[in-house]
Amino acid sequence: MITHRSQTNRGIRRHHIPYPLSRAISLDINDILISPSTSMEPRKVSVAAHYKLPWFLTSFVRILDYGSKGLTTRFLWRIFCGPIKFKTPPREAEFYKKTEQEKIQTKSTSKEIMLYRIPNDGHKVLFVHGWNGRSSQFYRIIELLSDEGYDITAIDLPGHGRSTRSTTNLPEITDLISEVTKSRGPYHGIVCHSFGGVAALNAVRFGTTFEKLVLISPGIYEIRPMFKTFVSLFGLDEEYYADRLFDIAESLYGASPGEFGPDRFSKQIETETLIVHCQDDKEAMKEIALTLHSDMKNSVLHLTEGLGHRRILRDEKVAEKVMNFL
């Protein structure tokens, strides 16, 4: 995985939109306010459809599609890999006061990320947030664990939170988890939200070890439905552009993106795992958690109600459940 990172960086540069066009519409894409649920979180084992894009963006893409399918594909790829940075709410401010913060240059991504620490003498635990998220969303769980003596590390993924703005992708985040674990670990456990859990499962698949794995609101089971749902947001030919996006991804990763879906390997994961999911989560359907629990023989499933996709992270009972599991 890590060995082809430089190829990934070169590939991404090759697939940039030509400068005049990117400037003309760049608003920049990262500044377009898009609901976090769109990103790439599947519904049923696919994606939540309530995600809406600005009309001018969808209109532009349809016009681009009429003129050049190649440019359209590259433009879609740029949006697909571009996380949105949302304003941090006041309730998360205490997290930044209590943590030691360090911006580090990672070898696996060649990007700067923000790393947070609360040193302690207890078990070491790594936190990985979801797409369009940030480490401070774990503030409730981290506060409880640190008070109980756990040694805490959390990372803002590339392009997220206080990390340097950039694009990113699932293989890159998988490599990042492996790199941080190798350089800062070993970690007794890893606690992940949504998209971060998919990356953690892939890291485990490639040999990164944890004694305990916590998946909160896991968001993806199969990869291709995620691509198709993303394309459908623009009213384009889902099969055609899903194939084209797969082609770009495969040229960058050296493997089909479908191989990164938990449906391909979750039955092989033997790590002791806690899966926490809200039954009324509208962004990552509960069927994903149920299917993962069925696949993973050493998993425990805890279902909640009324907590949605993100509020679940700041629920006291969920925090206690995570601590008791770890």
Q: Per the domain annotation, does 85 fall within a domain? A: no
Least confident of 203-207, 208-212, 226-230, 244-248: 226-230
Q: Per the domain annotation, does 36 fall within a domain? A: no
Q: Per the domain annotation, does 87 fall within a domain? A: no
Is the domain of 175 the same as that of 308?
A: yes
Is the domain of 154 the same as that of 9?
A: no
Q: Would the pLDDT of 306 be above 90?
A: yes
Nearest to 155 by CA among 175, 124, 185, 134: 134
Burial of 65 (0-12, 13-18, 19+ CB in 10 A): buried
Nearest to 244 by CA among 259, 260, 231: 231
Q: Per the domain annotation, does 37 fall within a domain? A: no
Is the domain of 279 the same as that of 178?
A: yes
Is the domain of 173 the same as that of 279?
A: yes
pLDDT value of residue 259 = 94
Sign (positive or negative) of CA dihedral 95, 96, 102, 104? positive
Number of domains in the chain: 2
As a whole number of angstroms, the distance between CA 25 and CA 300 comes to: 47
Is the domain of 285 the same as that of 306?
A: yes
Q: Per the domain annotation, does 209 fall within a domain? A: yes
As a whole number of angstroms, the distance between CA 92 and CA 98 comes to: 11
Tell me the pLDDT tens digit for each residue of 248-269: 999 988 889 999 999 999 999 9
pLDDT value of residue 39 = 36
Tell me the pLDDT tens digit for each residue of 270-297: 999 999 999 999 888 999 999 999 999 9
Phi, psi of 80 (to 5 degrees): -55, -35
As a whole number of angstroms, the distance between CA 198 and CA 182 comes to: 19
pLDDT value of residue 4 = 34
Q: Would the pLDDT of 111 be above 60?
A: yes
pLDDT value of residue 56 = 86
> Which carries the bigger pLDDT value, residue 196 or residue 42?
196
Is the domain of 246 the same as that of 206?
A: no
Q: Per the domain annotation, does 183 fall within a domain? A: yes
SS (H, E, C) the chain: CHHHHHHHHHHHHHCCCCHHHHHHHCCCHHHCCCCCCCCCCCCCCCCCCCCCCCHHHHHHHHHHHHHCHHHHHHHHHHHHCCCCCCCCCHHHHHHHHHCEEEEEECCCCCCEEEEEEECCCCCEEEEECCCCCCHHHHHHHHHHHHHCCCEEEEEECCCCCCCCCCCCCHHHHHHHHHHHHHHHCCCCEEEEECHHHHHHHHHHHCCCCCCEEEEECCCCCCCHHHHHHHHHCCCCCHHHHHHHHHHHHHHHHCCCHHHHCHHHCHHHCCCEEEEEEECCCCCCCHHHHHHHHHHCCCEEEEEECCCCCCHHHHCHHHHHHHHHHC
Tokens linked to 296: 């993973």
> Which carries the bigger pLDDT value, residue 49 or residue 190?
190
CATH code, domain carrying 118: 3.40.50.1820
Is the domain of 61 the same as that of 134?
A: no
Is the domain of 142 the same as that of 269?
A: yes
Burial of 50 (0-12, 13-18, 19+ CB in 10 A): exposed
Is the bond preceding residue 42 a cis peptide, omega within 30 degrees?
no
Domain termination residue (choose one: 253, 270, 304): 253
Q: Would the pLDDT of 2 be above 50?
A: no
Is the domain of 61 the same as that of 200?
A: no
Tell me the pLDDT tens digit for each residue of 59-110: 999 999 999 999 999 999 999 998 888 889 999 999 999 999 999 988 877 8
Q: Per the domain annotation, does 38 fall within a domain? A: no
Is the domain of 8 the same as that of 124?
A: no
Is the domain of 150 the same as that of 273?
A: yes
Percentage of residues in the chain having pLDDT higher than 90: 70
Tell me the pLDDT tens digit for each residue of 18-63: 323 332 333 322 232 223 333 333 333 334 344 567 888 889 999 9
How large is the average pLDDT for residues 103-121?
91
* Residue found under tokens 């440019």: 71
> Which carries the bigger pLDDT value, residue 174 or residue 15?
174
Domain that holds residue 160: 92-221+261-325
Q: Per the domain annotation, does 108 fall within a domain? A: yes
Is the domain of 248 the same as that of 205?
A: no
